[in-house]
Amino acid sequence: MNGAMTLADGRVVGVAEFGRPDGEAVLWCHGGPGSRLEPMWLGDQARDAGLRLVGIDRPGYGHSPPRPGRTIVDGARDVLAVADHLGIDRFATVGVSTGGVYALATAAVAPERVTAVVPCCAMTDMRFEPARSTMSAPHTLSVWAAPDRESAIAAATDSHGLHGEKLTDGGVRAILSDNDRLLFADPAWMRDAMASFREMFRWGLEGYADDRIADGGGWVGFDVADIRCPVVVLHGADDQMCRPVHAEHTVAIVPGARLDLRPGDGHFSIEAHVVPTLRELLLSAQPG
């Protein structure tokens, strides 16, 4: 499916599925900004690997109306509610960039249901100052510093543009790795990326501001020590948007987590390794 579903509590959530419909389920927590369409370019790869990727719009993105005051744990519960709606009992989670904490939090909140977690180019717990200080001042630090939600939305809009135009107008090119640049030059990838891009800003910068409000105080409301499944923290060694110090700290605080740091990859190209990493993790977790 690709559209909106109504959850048991009456809220509307955007969902899109890619890969093999009867494959092993993977619930995908997108970046900030992002949308349910983020994993679209990996659909063929997922199908060949026997995986069913389920992208979910967080509130304030795509088909999901904003939810002021939402927390990281609220996001994890939304992932579980989508799984329930689709009749999925056990599943893996992927979290890209901002979405990494939502993938981990889901595994902490429902450890009996999550089979594996792959945080990819993901931000770490923002109570860790060496990582927090590496974030972009106009795009991130200014939003965290805002005194209220209205000011946070204004700061995010100023840095991104109301529809993300400041990003597309060369705004990210200065921090792309060589492999990122190759990806941006791929017409097929750009087609899928731009489809997702339109959904990112359907509600302006409300979703992004609410992401920053939720993660600015760090990973609270859940405990990563409750995670029982395998975790591989996948990160590009040349990621300038979310530097490797984030991945290193996440591995240090998530029990049993393994770091997979890929030379040459940046914040975008690293996603090409998500499906093979998932396949390896899920195969290793099978009995016998």
Per-residue pLDDT tens for 219-250?
A: 999 999 999 999 999 999 999 999 999 999 99
Q: pTM of the prediction?
A: 0.96
Q: What is the pLDDT of residue 174?
A: 78
CB < 8 Å & 24+ apart, contacts of 248-254: 249/124, 249/125, 249/128, 249/130, 249/131, 250/100, 250/104, 250/119, 250/122, 250/124, 250/125, 253/124, 253/125, 253/224, 254/104, 254/224, 254/227
Residues 79-102, mean pLDDT to the nearest whole number: 97
Q: What is the pLDDT of residue 61?
A: 98
Q: What is the pLDDT of residue 1?
A: 74
Q: What is the pLDDT of residue 172?
A: 79
Q: Which residues constitute the domain of residue 41? A: 2-285
Residue 287 has pLDDT above 90, yes or no: no
CATH number, domain with residue 255: 3.40.50.1820
- Amino acid in the structure at residue 204: G
How many domains does the chain fold into? 1
> Residue 169 — very low, low, confident or very high, per pLDDT cuts 50/70/90?
low
> Residue 288 — very low, low, confident or very high, per pLDDT cuts 50/70/90?
very low
Tens of pLDDT along 142-157? 999 999 999 999 999 9
Residues 80-108, mean pLDDT to the nearest whole number: 98
Sign of CA dihedral 118, 124, 130, 135: positive
Q: What is the pLDDT of residue 98?
A: 98
